[in-house]
Structures are given as C-alpha cells and as structure tokens.
Structure 1
Amino acid sequence: MGSLFEKAPLPHRIRPSAFAQVIGQEKAKQQLQKFKEPVSILLYGPPGTGKSTIAKILGNTWKLPFVEYNAVTTGVADIKKLLERSEKEGSILLFLDEIHRFSSSQQDSLLKGVETGSLVLIGATTESPSFRITKPLLSRCQVLRLEPLGEKELFEILSRGIDSLDPKPDLTEEACSLLVRYSGGDARKLLSNLEGLSLSFDAGANIQASDVNTFLESRVIEYDQSGESHYDVISAFIKSVRGSDPDAALFYLALMLEGGEDPLFIARRLIILASEDIGNASVHGLPLAIAGLQALETIGMPEGRIVLGQVTSFLASCPKSNASYLGINSALSFVKERGPSLKIPNRLRNAPTALHKKEGASQGYKYPHDFGGFVPFSYFPDDLSENPPQFYKPTRNGMEAKIREHLSNIWKKFRGKDYD
C-alpha cells in the first residue's frame, strides 16, 4: 500500500474492491452481478450503505474510466465537458452522488449521454427516485434499492476496521456496541468514529464504553439528515422563523445546507410555515414561499441557497398570525361534531335547471355586488343563523389588522359584535 493511501481515512483504506468483499446488500449484489455489460443505474438507500463502493466496483468490472461528481457542486457545464470527452475517448462511467439535488433541467443534460451510452450513469440518492428523478431519466436507468445495514453487518464492518488498524485497538464489547448504536446504520460514520477513537488513546489501551461516550460527546455535532438531529435542526429553524429572528433562522438554514439536508424539504416546510404562522398578517409570504420552491426546482443548488436565504429572511421578518390555521382547525372540529346534521338552505343552493328553481333553489339570495359589494345576509345553515359560530379571529398584526377592521365594520350591525 502506497504512502498516499496510508494517510487516507479508514473508510477509504478498507473500501471493498470486489462484490465478494462487500458486507450486506445481498439482493443488490445478486442483481448487479447479472449486468455483464455497462448499464446506467440509480442506487438509493440510507447514507453509508455502500453506494459509492458499488459504483467503484462496477467501474472496475466494466473497465471504464471513472469520474465522480457530487450534484451539489456540479452543473450543466461539467456534464457538457464530460460528454465532449466521451466523444473522443469512448464511454465514461459517471458516478453522480446526491443526484436528487439536480434540478429537472440539470437531469435533462444527462439524457443524451445515457441514451447513447457515452455516459454510463451511476446515480446515488437517499431519496426515492420515483419522486426526485425525472421520468425521462428514470426510464433510461435501472433502479436498485440498498437496504439499511443491520446490527450484525455493522459489527462485522467494525471488526474489519479494528483488524485493519495498527496498532490494533482493544475495545470492550460494550464499547463496540456503543459505536454501532451511534453509527445510525452508516458504515462510513462507524469507521470514522472508530479511527478517531483509536487515535485518542495510546497503543494497547483498553477502551471502555465510558471512553466511547466521552469521545462522541466531545466531537462537533454532526447533522444527520436521516436521524434525530434532522428533526432537531428543522425544529429550531422553524421556531426561529416563527419567532421573527432572521439571524437565527439563517444560522439553522446554513447548518442544514452544510449538513446535506434536502433543500426542497426546507422549501416545502417554509410554504407550510408561511400559511400556518404568517397567514393574512402578510399575504406576500405564501406566494414568495411557493415561488422559492419553484425557483429551487428550476435552478438547483448551489445557487438555490440564495433563494432559500431570501425566503427565510423575509418570512422571519414578517408580522405573524396563526388565525387562519386555528380557524380551519376549529371549523373542522365543528363540522365533525355537527356538520352531517345540517342542511344547506335553499337560498344558497345552486339552481342550474328550471326544476331546481321551482324547488326554491337560490330564492332569496342577495348578490353582494348589487349592493355595493356587501349586503347583510346569513350564509350559515338555518340552525346556525341566530348564533353563528366564529372560526376566523383575525389578529391586530400586520395586514390582518386591516382585515379585522374591515370585517368588524361590515358585520357589527348584523351580528351585534366586533369581528374578533
């Protein structure tokens, strides 16, 4: 082994070079070994389950030039250069990690190469290709799912890692169990923690479970997009936006993006927040959040971070109201309790035919625009008209204050109370 690889991280040093050396993924290995000729494949599964390893093994098996890109830092220009190279040199195996981060237009740039075979694409993703990969590209690729690594497989990987270290660390059974448990099923994380732990002790030291706990607690918190921190950070992000602190919100946004969180997941959460926590206090919030998602899908990353930063800072700076959110929840509870027993009054029924009109449909309805835009009228079923429930209670925040004032002015005389 050369000096260059002696300094490489442990997960790289012991990476399997043949399918026989791969621990786990038996179904996927059986299927992959049936592909005697190069074929484009989409591999999806949790982090650290062998996607990169399998791609490299396929490159060796098919004896193709191997190029590795990450979708976060790769653009259409890079793909075009690769296609030009393949025209001169022949087929190239492109391993594109996090392919789900490619926008639709970026994925389209791969189609010609995949179609002609000048690019043999091995795409890796933690997201289901059915949702995140365009149909044209999906139809041109085989799709294989990698299963989460089980405890038995992780212990086997850990044992291989221990045996490869020099000096070989002495870990108790409890210490090994902790390393496996905190790996979250990620073999790369497991081996990285093992190597870092072993470097923290002198040769021959007996490493206890308490030592593992101390080591893991001393490390910088990692953002695991499939684990507990995923929910903790997105929670802190949403609470910061809801709490009108744009600086804290941008901090958590940056933490998620640097940790590899799916930017479209963030954008979708911002849409929900714009309606739930801002609502009519700033009616620009929801359209901006939707536009942010559309822009992100169009341009992809890394430029998409600018869009997310704008939407996040605006929503965090908006006046807040959850009146619409509370209103629909209150109405749903009311309808579940009393809705089925209430009948739509004739004055509100549709009258598409003469028979409907003869039955009295729409009789007594007053068209608001004939009265200057508003006319006192009961839109509730008759059983509720005398004391109609109020579900929407607008706040005095932002634009909703004007809505509240307007509703109070037009309904006060008819209902005998302010709209609050």
Structure 2
Amino acid sequence: MSSVSDMDLFAARTPPHQPLAARMRPASLDEYAGQQHLLGPGRPLRVALEQGALHSMIFWGPPGVGKTTLAKLLATLADAHFVTISAVLAGVKDIRLAVDQARQHAAQNGRQTILFVDEVHRFNKAQQDAFLPYVEDGTLLFIGATTENPSFELNNALLSRARVYVLKSLDEEALDALLSRALSDGERGLGQHQLSISAEARSILIGAADGDARRLLNLLEIAADLVPDGGTIDVELVGDLLNDNRRRFDKGGEAFYDQISALHKSVRGSNPDASLYWYARMIDGGCDPLYIARRVVRMASEDIGNADPRALTLCLHAWDVQERLGSPEGELAIAQAIVYLACAPKSNAVYMGYKKAMQDVAGQSSLEPPLHLRNAPTKLMKELGYSQGYRYAHDEPEAYAAGEDYFPEELEPRSYYQPVSRGLELKIGQKLEYLRSLDAASPNKRRRP
C-alpha cells in the first residue's frame, strides 16, 4: 500500500470495523474538542480560516489532541485537495508523488493541495529539505504534525516557512463532552447500545485518558464491549480495565525532559512534596530508576554541593541500592535521597566555580605550571629549577603556606569558589576568609614575574 493517499473526510459509509476514535472524528469545527486558544473567536488560526489566509504550519502537541483531525478540517473548509503521508513510512519518492498530485489538481480544477506530514520529526534533514522548493513556490501548502519540540527536531529552513501552533492536552470539560457525544451518537458512536456510565466511573475514565481524546475513546470502546446493551459502565469494570494504566511519559521525548526538569527544579526549590510527585510520575510512566538515580547524583553536586556534602554520599548509596536490590526497595531509596536533597541547604557555589574555571581554561592557551609546583624526580629537573622554592604546607604554621601562589605565572589568581552562607559552606566561607587574611599579612607572599 502506498504511504501517500487521498483522504475524503466525509466518507459516505463508515466501515463496520472502524474504531470508535476514527468514527468520532469531528466533521466540523463546532464538533472539534479543545484548542480554544487557537480556534476560539479572534484567535489566530480561527482568524486565518475566516479570512481564507491559510499558510504552511506545524502542529506541535502530545498524542490524541487532534492534530490530524484539525488538518483535515482545514482542508475541508478551504476546499483544498488533501494528501497525507507518514514520516515513519515515507521517503523522498513519496514527497515527489505528492508534488505530482498537487500539480495535477492545480492544472485540472485549480484546487490548492495541502500536504499533511504526520510525525514530521522523523524525517531527516535531506527529507525535510525536499519540501522547501514546493512550499516556497506555492505548489504545496505544508502542514506537519509532531509530538517533539520543533526547535530541536526540524530544520530552521522549514521552520522559517511554517508557523508553529502548540496544541494542548484536552481538559476534563472537553473530554467529558466528547464522552457524552460518543455514548449518545447513534450513527457514529455507541448510542445504539443505550449504555450509561456511573459518575465515578466517568471521572476515572476521563482522568485515565490524560488529556488524550483517542485514548479516552479507545478505553470507552473496550469498556462498552464488556457491557451488554442497556447496561452500565461502573467503577469495578473501569478499575479492571485500567489495572496497568500509565500516565503519559515518552522515554525519549518532550514529556520526558519536561518531567525530569520539573523534578530537578522542585528539588532546587526545596519542595519535597512536588519532588516526590514528579519522581512518582516518572516511575509510574516507566522511566528507568537508574536514570533518575544518576540525575539525583548530579543534583547533589549542582544544587547542594558543600552546603551538605552528605547529600552526595546518600545519593550514591541510593543508586547502589537500586542496582543491588531493584524495585521496589531501590525506588524507595531514591525517594529518600530526593527528599533529603529537597530539604538540604542549597549551594551552587561548586557548580558555578567549576564553570568559571572551565571558561578560563577554554579561553587560554596551555599554560604551564610554575616551576615551584612541578615535581623533580631527576637531577636534571632539579637543576632546571623544578620544585625549587616549594613550601610544604604541613611544615607551615596551621598547615597553611600563607602568601603562596598556585596559579600559572601568566594568569592572575582567580576566586572561582564563593561559598554561600548556608549549611557547612557557612563554616567553609569563614575558613577561607581567615586564610585570605593570612595571605594578606604574610611576609612570604610570592611575587609574580
């Protein structure tokens, strides 16, 4: 079967085997659920439709929010020829075939062609570039759908020629209306079965859909298959149906990075409850606990640092427990570490100091260590002055060589590490201030060349 197809939105007959989600696709904007921030009165996409000013666009949003359906509706409203290809199956050959179809329809009846590319982020750079001449000269009006951030997944050249519209997960009100319509519609929905649903079961089903209309309708269809005509979908049935339900979580996509970001920022913000919530969301969604353990170790160094050095040790132990014992013991140990980090005093002084040091190193040539800091294991090295004048700190008062200089001769001494006045770093900062006062007063302060 070709991956390029003409799509007739209003088929005369609906195949009996067609899933409920497909049968319930809206036939008009009035039936379209959600996305009022784009399609409400005066909103940008609605205005473009009313003015007949369609343009190339990219729909970015999670699964089941109506990206494909909206593209089909736009084609119908614009009386445009609609061609769809899937980036999972298609290649440059299919793009050329779509271009040929567009030219034929333009020549025969003057109709514009909308090329809809599902999962456009799966096309590589060369495939994305193949669209550009035809979008540029108006042969095609391009609509791409993606669940991934277009900034990362699509070429700048393609992005510059298409407007990005962000589609949001459907809220409970929109899902509730869709569920009611599916149960009552006797032509496309389940109305002929005269089913009812208890209020509690309805609420659970809507929650389990997680903003995904297709998921809601698929769950409803399964539940309806288990109930006789005229029966009631109850809590027990829905509970059995959702026994292993998972919230939305894409192990390599936008949702993944959004959730780990939310976890990290909740820890940094000293909110153990939100930290536990995002951790639970990721575990519930199937995230590898070892990935979270690794990120938690990073948090210990980046956001707690020397304000509480025990945090790093605790996080490493949690990682070890996960590797040794697995689930659920390891996951609980990681939760313990996360709560400890959230409650610990915060300092990014080590992290910021390290970044500043790396910037200096990257911006300098390979500066040599000063001679007095070099090792001198041979006679020649000693004759060349290696290690000459080095002051052994343990032989100095308070085990500190006051006034000593440890930077390369070409680089003025820097102060990268600035301890905060929280946790252990309060004491560390006081110690460093005292040592600096010894440096200032030292008669042995090393003079730079």
On whether the aligned pair clears a TM of 0.5, the verdict is yes
* 1:9-408 mapped onto 2 (5 Å cutoff): 9-29=19-39, 30-35=43-48, 36-90=52-106, 91-164=112-185, 165=190, 166-217=192-243, 224-225=249-250, 226=255, 232-235=285-288, 336=350, 362-364=370-372, 366=374
Q: How far has the Cα of 1:89 moved from its partner?
A: 2.8
Unaligned runs of 5+ in 2: 1-10, 107-111, 257-280, 299-346, 355-363, 401-449
Distance 2:44 2:391 in 1: 62
**Corresponding letter in the other structure for 2:172:** E
Could you tell me which amino acid in structure 1 is paired with residue 63 of structure 2? Answer: P
TM-score (norm 2): 0.53
Q: Specify the SS of the correspondent of 2:202.
A: helix
Alpha-carbon shift at residue 141 of structure 1 (Å): 0.6
* Structure 2 contact 20–218 (Cα < 8 Å) conserved: yes
**2:193 aligns to what SS in structure 1?**
coil
Q: 1:40 to 1:381 in 2, by over 3 A?
A: farther
Structure 2 letter corresponding to 1:235: D
Residues 363 and 238 of structure 1: is their aligned pair in 2 closer, same or farther, counting only changes over 3 Å?
closer
Q: What percentage of aligned pairs have identical amino acids?
A: 30
Query: Do the aligned partners of 2:60 and 2:146 also contact (CA within 8 Å) in 1?
Result: yes
Following the alignment from structure 1 to structure 2, what is the Cα–Cα distance between the partners of residues 237 and 68?
Answer: 40
Report the 3-state secondary structure (helix = DSSP H, G, I; strand = E; otherwise coil) of the residue aligned with 1:21. coil
CA contact (8 A) 2:64 2:215 kept: yes
Q: Partners of 1:381 and 1:160 in 2: how far apart?
A: 84
Aligned counterpart, 1:329: none
Shift of 1:205: 1.7
Deviation for aligned residue 1:383: 5.4
The separation in 1 between residues aligned to 2:374 and 2:163, in whole angstroms, is: 61
Question: Displacement of 1:27 after TM fit?
Answer: 2.0
3-state SS, counterpart of residue 39 of structure 1? coil
Return the letter of the residue paired with 1:81.
Answer: L
Question: Whose relative contact order is higher, 1 or 2, with alpha carbons under 8 Å and at least 6 apart?
Answer: 1
Instruction: Give me the whole-angstrom Cα distance separating, in 2, the residues matched to 1:55 and 1:124.
Output: 9
What stretches of structure 1 move > 6 A for 4+ residues in a row?
236-239, 350-353, 370-373, 384-387
| Partner deviation per Cα, 1:262-307 (whole Å, 9 max, x = no partner) | xxxxxxx9xx9xxxxxxxxxxxxxxxxxxxxxxxxxxxxxxxxxxx
Structure 2 Cα separation of the partners of residues 381 and 66 of structure 1: 80
Q: More helix by proportion, 1 or 2?
A: 1
Instruction: Give me the whole-angstrom Cα distance separating, in 2, the residues matched to 1:334 and 1:146.
Output: 36
Cα deviation for residue 217 of structure 1 reads 2.6
4 and 382 in structure 1: CA distance in 2 versus 1, 3 angstrom threshold: farther
Q: Per-residue displacement from partner, 1:39-98 (whole Å, max 9, x unpaired)? A: 111111121111111100011011122112221222122112222332333242111111
Report the CA distance between 1:224 and its aligned residue: 4.9
- Describe the superposition over 1:184-214 as per-residue Cα deviations: whole angstroms up to 9, x where unpaired: 1101100111011101111122221111011
For residues 313-338 of structure 1, what are the alpha-carbon distances to aligned partners after superposition, in whole Å with 9 as ceiling and x for unaligned?
xxxxxxxxxxxxxxxxxxxx99849x
Structural RMSD (CA): 4.3
How far off its partner does 1:18 sit?
A: 1.6
Contact 1:96 1:122 in 2 (8 A): yes
1:33 deviates by: 2.6
Alpha-carbon spacing, 1:381–1:3, altered in 2? closer, same or farther (3 Å): farther
CA contact (8 A) 1:149 1:186 kept: yes
User: Which residue identity is paired with 1:78?
Assistant: D
Distance 1:130 1:336, change over 3 A: closer
Amino acid paired to 1:32: L
Distance in 1 (CA, whole Å) between partners of 2:154 and 2:89 is 18
TM-score when scaled to structure 1? 0.56
Distance 2:31 2:391 in 1: 71
Q: Distance in 1 between matches of 2:74 and 2:371?
A: 74
Offset from partner CA, 1:100-126 (integer Å, 9 cap, x none):
222222211111111112111111112
Distance of 1:372 and 1:8 partners within structure 2: 87
Q: Which has the larger radius of gyration?
A: 2
Q: CA separation in 2, counterparts of 1:217 and 1:367?
A: 66
Cα deviation digits, residues 386-410 of structure 1 (max 9, x gap): 99xxxxxxxxxxxxxxxxxxxxxxx
Q: Secondary structure of the residue that 1:122 maps to in structure 2? A: strand
1:87 partner letter: R
> C-alpha separation between the residues in 1 aligned to 2:372 and 2:244?
74
**Paired AA for residue 211 in structure 2:** G
1-structure distance, mates of 2:74, 2:348: 60
Asked if structure 1 preserves the Cα contact closer than 8 Å seen for 2:82 and 2:114, the reply is yes
Distance 1:381 1:208 in 2: 81
Aligned equivalents of 1:135, 1:58: Cα separation in 2: 25
